A and B are shown apart, each in its own frame.
Chain A
Amino acid sequence: MSAVIEIEGLRKTFHSLRNGRRVAVDGFDLLVETGQIHGFLGPNGSGKTTTLRALLGLVRADSGRMAVLGEPSPQLLPRVAGRVGAIVESPQFFGNFTGHRTLRLLARAGGVPTSRVDEVLELVGLHDRGDERVKAYSLGMKQRLAVASALLKDPQLLILDEPANGLDPAGIREMRDLMRSLAAAGVTVLVSSHILAEIQLICDHVTIISRGRRVAAGRVDEVLAGHDRHEFLVRVAEPERAAELLRAAELTATVDGGTLVVGGATDATVISKLLGEQGLWVGELTPLRPDLESVFLELTGAGQPWVPRQVDDSALPPGGQGDAVIDLERGVDA
């Protein structure tokens, strides 16, 4: 598998008179390989958009190495730009143009046959509204137009920054289907989002960013597996007695109402055998699988309800271990 996007040690600091220095991206790494639908996940202000802007040559990185489709970026980006479709933070379009004309102008500037315009309008479901002015579009329609503009080039690599913004549930589902069909057609997709369910549903790989740094990366199931504490939810008639039995067998067990959370067991059969031998029949035995949301909240430290969460500080992981990059896909990242 070849790398489509490589980012190593990307740093970007913004300087402004009013706010002084702000480190938006702080030594970030990202690897996207051919054919992936790669989720780029992080809370607001964690540096997703800045990373994509730097990758696409819109902002100058302080340091770091980047490559797109094998060409160093931004130096040789023009060589591959024709094969990369991108939207970065809901793009603004000129309100007086119709959707159709907006795309036609871009197609012309990029040397794409204008016949492609109708095709992409169809793809994003704007075909019937293509002749209306962009300023009359709803937020979701503008977002669709943006995606259409990224698709115009028939790209090998599609970079979408929060494409679900402003879309209704049906729109989000259509966007998802669109991404899947593109991926099936061989397009590599990098999609940023702060919405976890979104990423979990469509992405096969994920990179989690927090405070400008990578905190997790790899296949979605492996990232989840890395956070699997191998706990089981157990329902038995006498939870207190069951807990004692399990603890005696060097397992952890916490009683929570009528159920038990058991940790340390490699296999569910261990638990059912232990309890069954003592005449305690197990009514329910469910492995507790982590979902991306819990992993995300754990990694980005956003899950403490008693601390009012601040946009920019949200990413400080609890327990002070936040600065260590957790490499979950050792084969690729180690």
Chain B
Amino acid sequence: MNLVRAELERLFARRFVQLMVVLLALAFAVTAATTLAGSHKPSAAELSSARAQATEARQSMETHFQQCLARRNGTLPPSDSELYFPTDCSEIDPIRQDRLPIAADFLPGVFSFAQQAEPLLYFLIAFLVLFGFLVGASYIGADLNSGGVVNLLLWRPRRMTVLGAKLGTLLGTVLALAVAASLVYLATFWVIGQTAGLAGRLSGDFWRSLGAVHGRGMVLVLLASALGFAIATLGRHTSAALGAVAAYAVVWELGGRLVLEIVDAPRPDQLMLSSYIGAWLTGEARFYDSQICRGDTAGGGYCEGFYSLTWAPSLLVLLLLTGGLTAAAFAVFRRRDLI
């Protein structure tokens, strides 16, 4: 416990951590301020006009669907025959759409919390993932380099305890910061929506889905922090973590993808870590692969050519990677010569 308290003080005394916290606050302030400046509370006239427009849009979708059905039944009046209709009318069935036009779509310059909360949250999560990774890497990297770890080990010659306390302190701190930051962030935009924009329809479903994204985002932030910590420990240096990620991105995500495409390998996205990150965060990610439909066309059946990655196997991949590297970091640190 004392060790953790000391580590906590050490962590917050790091210039880099302070800088990142300031950056976080700054990014937050800028987004909130621009949103606030670009939004106004819609007047009653604007609102009713937007509602009318939305209703009209929904009606025209319904009409289009009905016309499609009518053409199939051969009852379409000749005047409408130039209109385009899909072969399968259910594609444009309003009931089967993901979302229907709502009033907020017709209110330019009005911030709608219900519509914007999720993309805003994704942005914050991306920042926090970066934050966690960099702080995790620099925290242990700088300490390994400055001899701080050696000093500490002269005091407490238990390597696993010392490294464990560092990782625990890091994860706890990052999680607390991330949760606090995201809650304040969402609350601020909710207030902006209430006072200078549109709250929108904040149903139970909305909150549930936002909460799910939030929870998955927090897990991702923790994984990124542990990953940065583990790679920096393995490489004895903060830059090891940065280098490893840059090298991975360039060599595999870009280069590897290119090569896989050239050799026409099946489902290249399945081999990319970024796909799993996306799938975990959004719940499911869909990828196109031309080979899925090969051989299928003979049957004459319709083939979309998409396959999807779901969150569960994605989480497993991310956990295995981070867990494996963290275990390796502890194993190496246990035996390594500390100079």
Contact = CB atoms under 8 A, between A and B. Distances in A.
Interface stretch (B8-16, B42-50, B225-233): B8-16
Given A91-B147, A105-B10, A111-B2, A59 B156 contact: no
A58 B339 CA distance: 7
A268 B338 CA distance: 55
Interface in B319-339: 335, 337-339
A184 B220 CA distance: 58
Contacts of B154: 56, 58, 81, 86-88
A93 B157 contact: no
B157 A56 contact: yes
A78 B159 CA distance: 10
B155 A58 contact: no
B201 interface: no
Q: Which one of A59, A91, A105 has the greatest number of beta carbons of chain B within 10 Å?
A: A105
Interface in B211-258: none
Interface string A130-170: 00000000000000000001000100000000000000000
Nearest to A105: B6
B157 A109 contact: no
Given A60-B337, A105-B9, A78 B151 contact: no
Contact of B13 (A58, A91, A94, A110): A94
A53 B158 CA distance: 15
A2 interface: no
B150 A109 contact: no
A94 B146 contact: yes
Interface string A88-107: 10011110110001000110
Nearest to B146: A92
Nearest to B335: A60
Given A94-B13, A94-B146, A94-B148, A109 B338 contact: no
Interface in A33-80: 53, 56-60, 74, 77-78
A108 interface: yes
- Report the interface size class on chain A: 20 to 34
B7 to A, nearest CB: 8
Interface in B122-170: 146-148, 150-158
B157 A57 contact: yes
B72 interface: no
A53 B3 CA distance: 22
A106 B337 contact: no
Contact of A108 (B5, B13, B335): B5
A14 B336 CA distance: 12
A127 B13 CA distance: 23
Contact of A58 (B10, B146, B153): B153
A110 B155 contact: yes
A91 B335 contact: no
Nearest to A80: B157
Contacts of A56: 154, 157
A149 B337 contact: no
Contact of B150 (A58, A74, A96): A58
Q: Which one of A58, A87, A106 has the greatest number of beta carbons of chain B within 10 Å?
A: A58
Contacts of A110: 2, 155-156
Given A58-B337, A60-B337, A105-B10, A78 B156 contact: yes
B157 A81 contact: yes
Given A59-B339, A91-B150, A109 B15 contact: no
A110 B156 CA distance: 7
Contacts of B5: 108
Nearest to A56: B154
Contacts of B6: 105-106, 108-109
A58 B152 CA distance: 11
A188 to B, nearest CB: 17
Contacts of B15: 96
A213 B335 CA distance: 25
Contact of A88 (B13, B150, B156): B150
Nearest to B155: A110
Given A60-B335, A60-B337, A105-B6, A78 B158 contact: yes
Contacts of B10: 94, 105
A100 B154 CA distance: 18
Nearest to A79: B157
Contact of A106 (B146, B147, B152, B157): B152
A26 to B, nearest CB: 17
A161 to B, nearest CB: 11
B36 to A, nearest CB: 36
Interface of B: 2-3, 5-7, 9-10, 13, 15, 146-148, 150-158, 335, 337-339
Given A88-B150, A109-B155, 11 more contacts: A14-B337, A53-B338, A58-B150, A60-B335, A78-B157, A87-B154, A91-B150, A94-B10, A109-B6, A109-B7, A110-B155
